[in-house]
Structure 1
Amino acid sequence: MKNIEIFEKQYDFLNKEQKQAVDKIYGQIMVVAGPGTGKTQIIGLRTANIILKAQVNPENILITTFTDAGVIAIRKRLLKFLGNDSYKVSVSTIHSFSQDVIKTFPEKFIEYKAGTAIDSVDALEILKNILDKLIDEKKVEELTSDFDKYYYLRTIESKISTLKNEGTNPESLQIAINKQKTDYEEELANIKPTLKKYETTKTKQEKHIKKLEELKIIFTEYKKHLNEKSLYDFNDMINFVLEKFKQDIELREYYAEKYQFIMIDEFQDTNNAQNQIMDLILSVSKENPNIMVVGDDDQSIYRFQGANIENMLSFSSKYPETSIVVLEHNYRSNQNILDLATNLISNNNERLSNKISTINKKLVSSGYYKNKNNDVLFFRATTEKDEQIFIVNKIKELIKSGEQQNEIAIIVRSNKEVETWSKLLLQNGIEVESKQKTDILKSNYVKFILDLLDIIENPNENETKFINIFRNSIIGLNNVDIFKINRELYKQNYSRKYKKKFIDYLNEIEIKKDEIKELLNLEKLDEILNFKNKIIEYKAKIAELGLKEFIGFLIKDINILDYIEKNGDFDDLQDVYTLFNKIKEFIENNKYLDIEKLLNKILLFEYYNLSIPRQILKENKSGVQILTAHSSKGLEYNTVFIPGLYNGNWDGKRVRDLLKLPIYISGNGLQSEDFEQIEEDRRLFFVAATRARQNLFLSYPSSSGTKILLQSVFLEEINDSYKDFEQSITEEDFKEIIKNDIEDNLIKSSDLEIEYIKDFIENYKLSASDLNTFIEDPILFLNKVIYKYPFEDKQATIFGKVYHKTLELFYLRYKKEGKIPEKSYLTEEFERHLKTELLKHEEFEKLLEKGIKGLEGYYELYSENMKTPLELEYNFRRKNIFFENIPITGVIDKIEKSGEGIVSNTENSEGFGQFSLFKESVNLIDYKTGKTKSIGQIKGLDRFGNKKQGPGEGNYFRQLLFYKLLCEADNETNGKYNISGLMLDFVEGKEGNYKIVQVDYTTEEFEDFKEQLKQVWSQISDIDFWKALLKK
């Protein structure tokens, strides 16, 4: 069939509005194309019409669209209508168009061609250095913070990116700031100076202008740095072309002559810089330019990338002769789905239909599903687990009924949810295809490779990382042997000032291998020592092969690909492949890259919360599709699930703009952030819902853990458009889904490890800190307490330890001599003990200054009325103390008289134990460095008095109750002392606040604590608990 015949046949299928768009060849036309209205077909047929009927050469047509996927879709459609001529039509994204301009005229872009591309990490590092310089020079004061010097760094980078997207340079930014300043002055002139509002408005305005002026200074410095170093970032390519088009009339004339017809797809997603390029080409024409834009304001969901629906609103103003065609006929979805979507989006104010009275955007079902009006169903789940069970069961039911898996999609709000649902479906035997660009830095295998590189480069730097590599099942060593070696090292290091490192201890063992092997009863010591030597040899191998070749060698040498084939999946292989390619890319951009620089580069990705997306080598198009709403644009499925419809997920997310650009920068009007965000969120939900052809399931969990969730406001807006769906969740459903909910872990356990744990528990005594560790995370308890991971003192830990020791020695001297030592004794002792710690010079100086300041303040506050302590660092470790059947131990910082003296009566006082004959009433005191806490914070309570959940909540309170229990269970202290009070002494004076807090408690709180203690011990002492935990 000839092209003209194919065209005419397809043309006959068009509706009235579609034909209007295709027939309008000359002049300006804006096509408002809602979801499923056939915009790609219109672009394809209009292109064919221009070529076949207007006798225009294909080379004279330019079509731009937003994504590479859009380019492919249009190219396929053109091929159908035009055959080989379709390849002569220029179809591209604006980025690839800009690249083509630079390649065609390299002599006009010499600076660009000679430059080096930088990524987001490089840009942030450059901006960080610029900030350092400008803060030192006092040129930046508002765009920084006393608490975090780089608090605004990501905002600055984002705003510079927005400015570049809008085609704004520092000079035009200054013009916009001046206009903004004038507007503010006029606003202020309308407020009476005597009103309080005048001062608050004036201060707010001045602060905003100062921030904008500082941004301009930073932007100027950033551009200057890039120019001097011949660097450019992602946004610069378009701006290079834009600037050249502004300056070079010949360049504009060339492209105006070449592209006599321009079509812009997804017009609502374009930014100002992209539009300026097209406008400059069109400006050459003295007659009416030939341009068609196609878009849908209701599907504008890329505001964060500079997309701006103002483009559509202003197009007809820019070109007054514009013909507007609205496509209302939807060929994708049934009417119930379209009614829901229309009812939802009608709540938005920023819509073309509210600005142009002739536009009606009510979608009408007109295709295959016109008469297949399945109801939109809504499931209100009690918990997140209920919601998961409902969706998993419903998908299984659909597949059983004959639905193709790739015709089912779960569309979610965030990448994290894609991960959760992908894992859940896979665990329940359902194939998936995840559209998420998964961050490879979260992959266990990638982490393993990077950690291995780290210990090759720095074997003494991170002990926990070092031991985890040795324990990793990829390496395949005997874990119990490692624990035995580690336990012996722990014993040797316990009383040492300078801690011996694990690798150094292995080197010692190698010298007297047979003796140690027998002493520690080690089974496979040779394998451990061989791997240790391999790590040392790898360092030399890097010098021999170079970094790029070494990475390939390492991946082969540790057989990680074979391990993944047996134990992982194809995604894991893709992650390792992506890492290898990313490292090659880093090396190509920096030939001097070594392991240290490579690891620092990766650390910066994590520091700035940037991802390295997985490269997809092979798509699984047969699985259930799981994707974010942003990724779903342009796609369609027979059945769509939209879960998690609660406030704070689909709507109500506070996205605070720390630095609002002037209103004179396109798309930066002064509407409230909340207003803008809710409209963007609503458009996103609109896009997600209109992906469904026949079945749409909405769901919302009423709770997540202990947190109550409120349903999304969107559900209220469309409550007439769906029907509630009831489904009971059975106990069997729960068992099945929980059984499958097991996380992958590269550190595997064995029966020998279980025996090791059993032997340890038999001789173990529980302390307050260990109790808190277990409550926070049993795995942390396992590594820290049972496996005895090596000493790794952080600065805060070192500071607290030395501060405690100084106070102990100070009070010991006071007790011994009967008089308060001089203030200098405190500061000298602190410095002396701090010198014994392994610290860098700058770390030592920082902690010394902090410690001296804190101790001097403490002395000045308390030296006039210090009490002589009865006990200091009272240690229960050598005693065999039991609470019921639980062995307990610990060290109390200080015991001192409470002021009540010796009591001879016996009475019950709630919260203060039993007063007995001839016992000294005492306070148990625990020192705390750091910020002072309130009683609520100490007890882990919210402002309503309810217990808070989460790591560290109530730790201090549990610790004090534990010490009370210790004293009462110990015959010696119980015989001498009556516990009158429990106190926390906040000794550092952080933010100038020293405070001794008496922590009262009720009998009920003490009993609850004892019950919690018994529950924890029942788990610690239960070997089946550890077996189950290690399986995960």
Structure 2
Amino acid sequence: MNLNQIYTDRFQKLNQQQQEAVTTIYGPVMVVAGPGSGKTELLSMRVANILKETDLDASNILCLTFTDAACKNMQQRLSKIIGIDAFRVGIFTFHSFAQYVLNNYQDYFYDYVDKQLACDIRKFEVLSKNLNQLALDRNLRVLDLNGNFVFFNDIQRIITCLKKANIDSVNLSETILALREDFSQINQIVNAFFEANGSIRSLKALPQLQALLTDLQDLDSEVAQFLALELKNALNLCESENSTKYFTAFKNKFFAKDKDTKFVCKDSLKLDNLEDLAQVYQQYVEFFRQNGFRDFDDLILDLIDKIKRHPVLKANLQEIFQFILVDEFQDTSDAQMQLIKLLSNSSLPDFIPNLLVVGDDDQSIYKFQGANIKNILEFLSTYSTTKTIVLEKNYRSTQSIVDLFSHVIKSSDLRLESFYPQIQKSLQAANSTLQPGDMRLIEAKDPESELYCLLELIKKYAKQEDYSQIAVLARNHSDLRQISEFLISHNIPVSYQSSLDVFEQEVIVLVVKISKLLYHLSRPTLKRVYELLPEILGHPAFNIPTQQLWEFSREVFAKRSRWEKHMDLKKFPDVAYYMHFFKELSNVSQALPYRSVFDYIIGSKTFEERQNLFDTLVLKSPIKEYFLSQEDLESYQSLEALKSFIEAIEAYYATDNFDCLQALNYFEIYENSRLKLNFQFAIGNAQSCQLMTAHGAKGLEFETVIVFNSTQKRWGTAVNRAKLTLPKHLRLEPQPDDVDDLVRLFFVALSRAKNNLVITYAKKDLKNKDNLLLSFLHESGLDSEDFEIGLKTRVHSLQASLLNPESVKDENFDKNAFLRPIVDNFAVSISAILSFIDIVNSTPTEFLNSYMLRYPRSTSKQASYGNAMHAALNHLSKSLKTSQKPLTLEDLIKFYGSQLAKAPLSTLEYNQYLQKGSSNLTNYYNWHAQDFSQYDLAEYNMSSSNLYIEGFKISGSLDRVVFDFDKKRISVIDYKTGKPFDAFDKGSLSSKLKSFKYKLQLTFYKYLLQNHPNYKKKYQFDSAYLHFLDAETKEQSILEYQPSDRDMEFLLQIISAVLKKIKNLDFPDVSAYEKTYYGMREFIEDLITEKI
């Protein structure tokens, strides 16, 4: 079936409202899409129709959404409608779009590109230092009983809000100064009112309240007008409800008594603290600026700033992206909304943006991230010609389920139809293939009964459908962790993803203790050695018999000796062996970067100790063998923890060249903070029963949904514990969740169900106190059922908990299921492809470890040298963009030295490579500096260019892209360290291997540039060049290569064969092949012909 027929067939299946949204391609359009109303199909079909009705390229369409999974889902669906063009459509998250602009318009972002993303520990350290610089009597310096800053979390939250709103410390200080004058006037009026009228207990005081309202309205300040509006709303309710309680609520919310017992605005009491916060904020941002750090949110904010200040950039983006689609519009933050408006607004007369947004105000559940229904309202007011389309047909759920969640959402006061009565949502089930299922409300006697009720429900529905179609939804992870352990203990397969703290993992606790031991062994801090050694050697990883450990300890004590001095290998072989290991490693660790020491600690490296003239003792840590050798859940969890651990320290120091003392400093900062270093870890697979929070379930659907612990206490509104907030009228902070937020969240949970929906709760809590069912379920029409487990089951449960008090382990770990989501998100790079096929220096298994599982590995000294050389030449290119003149040789070498200093090199190695690199850079600079252009693209990152191959996204970067604007040709330059050669496919076998890989690499770069949406129509590929940075002559330094069509065909055959293996989770054993160039070619041939 051709693509036109596919489009026609799918279009005919759309309902009238969906078809209208698909065909109305010009002008602003808002689609209000209830749950299960087919919005993803609508978006895909609209893109297809734009391409059908216009002469535009697929790359001229921009689709923005919120998660990588949503991007992939849209792309896959679109590919079934329009084929390969789906991979050319600009489908991005907001952040990846900002990254795309940065990569493609480097001239505007020269001050951002090289900034390092600040980790949470760095932010904690800087903010703590800033707070300590305040005067001792300032409130923001107050500490709690544990020595932590009382206002720390509030300050961090407020700084994030200010940055998202693009408000700097100067703006904040000016605002506070103006507020002092404004509040002075308001407080006089307010205090005079309460002194004259006292407490308002009767509607007879309405004239006085109206007078207060008039006085506030007469003041010319934003805060006075805000209070006046709030008071007006309260007075209207007082009159309509014949009660003064609404004014009392207004008074309690906005006013309080000061130290002189006068009534004043609550927000006026915050100004001193906010002045101090402005000072802290200024120092915080200044530190980041001076030291080259940035926040995650800074990229979007910087993009907004650049578009505002550079009309040419804005015009270029609008020229490229002539149609814009935004999914999940209700989840947009203020900054994201600002970006949408910048991309879709123009100063041209009669300009109307081709902009479609799809959202549902009833599913706005991300207020804590800055999302707000006000963006929907603002859209309608900003674009007055907006065509509004409401999707009312639900294709997911049965009518009874639709009726239930429609009843629930009516409890919310903050809905779009409250502001625009013409927008009415009356959802109707429209999937005639669905059979009526269960609708149940089960009241368990107690929490234990609720768990057993859940178990019986899952067993029942598992007889009707796959486990994967059963979802248990809860309000938070504390319930889900309990549920997962309980279900696993009863042999129910579960899939659950949660955050784990790196420093709470057993393997990390042990690594940190050993790191501390190595440091203290080389220093006169024996007390710490005595504390650490027994804890370490007693760990099961070291497998030391308890009797040997005890006898060793007793003998050391009897001889008044020291553990680290007593190393008799014959009498105490196991203890002494590891004492030798720790002592030797402690000695060498003083001269090595911690990254190398870490490899010894976990057992990735071994070293030898000479015993005598003939004997050598091989020393190795048991950690890798103990924690990582099994293909089970615990091994992969330990691996993830080790990766996150070492990456976090490297992120903190912005280098992998830090020593043991610096690592210990990081541990101390972490221990003193209240932070968690979390990593995501999942158990189970897609074929298991799905456990998730209501937030996590958004956008998903299941045959059966069980909503657990549906009590007022669990799902109710949280208490706002913020001690410091910004003035309310500024509207810069997300407000705490209220009843409307609770209703929307429960609405999202209920609307995930297709056939069966069960709501459970326990009538008594663990303390035998009454639990209340969620208030809006009382009038739902559901008949409740009682559930209680019997005495026999309770006894069995108690016995099981006593016999196995620790968390249940997953005995049925599915390795392929663990790898599947990793493979699904794998990004293709040429280095990954080469790692798979280069059986001389790697193997498919090592590819798996390095590129999929990301085993921690230190950087070799040769690689560190190469990285520093690349960084220096990248800096040479970028400095030319910013200053329009070449960097001096002296500055280039200085920068090279600074990059080399970040590498994990010893002092001797650093000096050697500093001399070598300086000499080679001098030669290269003298030969080629004049060839650099400000229009070159340096370190050009392809990951945001929206290129795909075989369904996998392409990543990697090109060292330098060079343009010939006159001839409309484009070339690529790749820098190489190491011995140069003057021709391909010549010389020794090792040279042939290297040149073969280089040819594949350069051919891959040609493929990227020929298919890049920005260049494929404007430029013809010219040549690829290797620049050898260690060359001794100018002639040796350049080798040109022009990939042929045969080269391209061969490369794509290799990539296709490798990606097929990766998709199938097939990482073949290559031990039968020779570890030579010819053995590798044989392996490649077998891959392509599928002989292996």
TM-score above 0.5, yes or no:
yes
How do 1:663-702 residues align onto structure 2 when only pairs under 5 Å count?
663=728, 665-666=730-731, 668=733, 673=736, 676-702=737-763
The residue number in structure 2 matching 1:391 is 454
Q: Is the 8 A contact 1:561 1:573 kept in 2?
A: no
1:720 is matched with 780
Give 1:535's aligned residue.
582
1:322 is aligned to 386
Structure 2 counterpart of 1:156, one-letter code: I
Which residue in the other structure is 1:929 paired with? Answer: none
Q: Distance between the aligned counterparts of 2:573 and 2:732, measured in 1?
A: 67
- CA offset at residue 562 of structure 1? 4.1
Distance in 2, matches of 1:391 and 1:464, equals 46
Structure 1 CA distance for aligned equivalents of residues 575 and 385 of structure 2: 80
Q: Structure 1 residue 626: deviation in Å?
A: 1.4
Which deviates further from its counterpart, 634-643 or 553-562? 553-562
Q: Does structure 1 conserve the Cα–Cα contact (< 8 Å) formed by 2:593 and 2:660? A: no
Structural mapping, 1:605-1004, within 5 Å: 605=670, 607-614=672-679, 620-663=685-728, 665-666=730-731, 668=733, 673=736, 676-706=737-767, 708-714=769-775, 716-741=776-801, 742-744=804-806
- Closer/same/farther in 2, CA of residues 187 and 666 from structure 1, 3 Å limit: same
Is the contact made by 1:440 and 1:575 (CA closer than 8 Å) also made in structure 2?
A: no
Task: Tell me which residue corresponds to 2:245.
Answer: none
177 and 365 in structure 1: CA distance in 2 versus 1, 3 angstrom threshold: farther
Q: 5+ residue gaps in structure 2?
A: 199-255, 522-526, 604-619, 810-1092
Matches within 5 A, 1:79-94: 79-94=79-94
- Once residues 381 and 348 of structure 1 are traced to their aligned partners in structure 2, the CA distance between those partners, rounded to angstroms, is 28
> Does 2:505 align with 1:432?
no
1:36 aligns to 2:36 (yes or no): yes
Tell me if 1:53 matches 2:60. Answer: no
Question: 1:736–1:49: structure 2 CA closer, same or farther, 3 Å change rule?
Answer: farther
1:376 is the counterpart of 2:436: no
Q: Look up the equivalent residue of 2:544 and give its one-letter code.
A: L
Q: Tell whether the 8 Å contact from 2:440 to 2:783 is kept in structure 1 after alignment.
A: yes
Structure 2 distance, partners of 1:84, 1:291, is 24
The 5 Å alignment of 1:476-555 reads 476-480=543-547, 482=549, 505-507=562-564, 525-543=572-590, 546-555=593-602
The CA distance in 1 between the partners of 2:596 and 2:805, in whole Å, is 33
Distance 1:322 1:450 in 2: 59
Aligned to 2:373: 309
Report what 1:3 is aligned to.
3
Shift of 1:544: 6.3
Q: Distance in 2 between matches of 1:491 and 1:420?
A: 49
Give the C-alpha shift of residue 282 in structure 1.
1.9
Distance 2:536 2:368 in 1: 40
Spell out the pairing of 1:335-354 with structure 2 (5 A cutoff).
Answer: 335-354=399-418
Shift of 1:322: 1.1
Q: From the superposition, tell whether residues 161 and 698 of structure 1 become closer, same or farther in structure 2 (CA, over 3 Å).
A: same
1:255 paired residue number: 317
Partner residue in 1 for 2:616: none
Look up the equivalent residue of 2:786 and give its one-letter code: E
Q: Does the Cα contact within 8 Å between 1:30 and 1:325 map onto a contact in 2?
A: yes
Shift of 1:543: 4.6
Deviation string for 1:463-502 (max 9, x for gaps)? Answer: 665433222222212235545776899999xxxxxxx9xx
**Closer/same/farther in 2, CA of residues 155 and 685 from structure 1, 3 Å limit:** same
Q: Name the CA shift for 1:655/1:191 in 2 (closer, same or farther; >3 Å).
A: closer
Pair 1:333 & 2:374 matched: no
C-alpha displacement of 1:381: 2.2
2:59 maps to a residue whose letter is: E
1:594 deviates by 2.8
Asked if the contact 1:142–1:210 (Cα under 8 Å) also holds between the matched residues in 2, the reply is no
TM-score, length of structure 1 as denominator length:
0.65
Contact 1:389-1:734 within 8 A present in 2 as well: no
Query: Quick one: which of 241, 254, 276 aligns to 2:303?
Result: 241
SS at match of 2:40: helix
Corresponding residue number in structure 2 for 1:19: 19
1:151 matched to which residue of 2?
150
Post-superposition Cα deviations, 1:197-251, rounded to whole Å, max 9, x if no partner, equal: 6645427333222233332222222221111112111111111111111111111
The residue aligned with 2:1007 is: none
CA gap of 1:709–1:104, structure 2 versus 1, over 3 A, is farther
The alpha-carbon deviation at position 185 of structure 1 amounts to: 4.5
CA distance, structure 2, for counterparts of residue 395 and residue 541 of structure 1? 56
* TM-aligned CA deviation for residue 86 of structure 1: 1.3
Q: CA deviation at 1:281?
A: 2.2
2:72 corresponds to 1:72: yes
Give 3-state SS (helix, strand or coil) of 1:298's partner.
Answer: helix
Q: Which amino acid aligns with 1:338?
A: V
Determine the C-alpha separation between the residues in 2 that align with 1:705 and 1:119: 39
Over the matched positions of the two proteins, sequence identity in percent amounts to 26
If the length of structure 2 is used for normalisation, what is the TM-score? Answer: 0.61
Instruction: Quickly say closer, same or farther: Cα 1:441–1:645, change in 2 above 3 A.
Output: farther
Q: In the TM superposition, what is the alpha-carbon distance from 1:160 to its structure 2 partner?
A: 1.3
In structure 2, the residue corresponding to 1:438 is in which secondary structure?
strand
Q: 1:221 aligns with which of 274, 280, 283?
A: 283
Q: Distance in 2 between matches of 1:225 and 1:467?
A: 42
C-alpha displacement of 1:607: 4.8
Do the aligned partners of 1:439 and 1:612 also contact (CA within 8 Å) in 2? yes
Letter in 1 for 2:272: K
Deviation of 1:564 after TM superposition, in Å, equals 4.3
Give the structure 1 partner of residue 1067 of structure 2.
none
Partner Cα separation in structure 1 for residue 475 and residue 670 of structure 2: 23
In 2, the alpha carbon distance for the partners of 1:180 and 1:144 equals 25
| Counterpart among 441, 446, 451 of residue 508 in structure 2 | 446
1:879-934 deviations in Å (ceiling 9; x for gaps): xxxxxxxxxxxxxxxxxxxxxxxxxxxxxxxxxxxxxxxxxxxxxxxxxxxxxxxx
1:41 CA drift (Å): 1.0
Distance 2:752 2:520 in 1: 51
Are 1:574 and 1:615, in contact at CA under 8 Å, matched by a contact in 2? Answer: no
| 1:241-270 Cα deviation digits (max 9, x unpaired) | 111111111111111111111111111111
1:978 alignment partner in structure 2? none
Match of 1:141 in 2: 139
**Residues 1:366 and 2:430 are matched in the alignment:** yes
Distance 2:72 2:289 in 1: 35
1:569 aligned residue: 632
Deviates more, 1:585-594 or 1:204-213: 585-594
RMSD of aligned Cα (Å): 3.2
Query: Which of these two proteins has the greater Rg computed from alpha carbons?
Result: 1
Change (3 A) 1:92 1:592: same
Aligned partner of 1:164 in structure 2 is: 163
State the secondary structure of the residue aligned to 1:639: strand
Tell me the amino acid that sits aligned with residue 589 of structure 2: I
The structural deviation recorded for 1:580 is 2.7
Q: What's 1:960 paired with?
A: none
Aligned with 1:726: secondary structure? Answer: strand
Choose 583-592 or 336-345, whichever is displaced more. 583-592
Q: Which residue of 1 aligns with 2:106?
A: 106
SS in 2 for 1:699: strand
Residues 143 and 332 (structure 1 numbering): CA distance in 2 closer, same or farther, change over 3 Å? farther
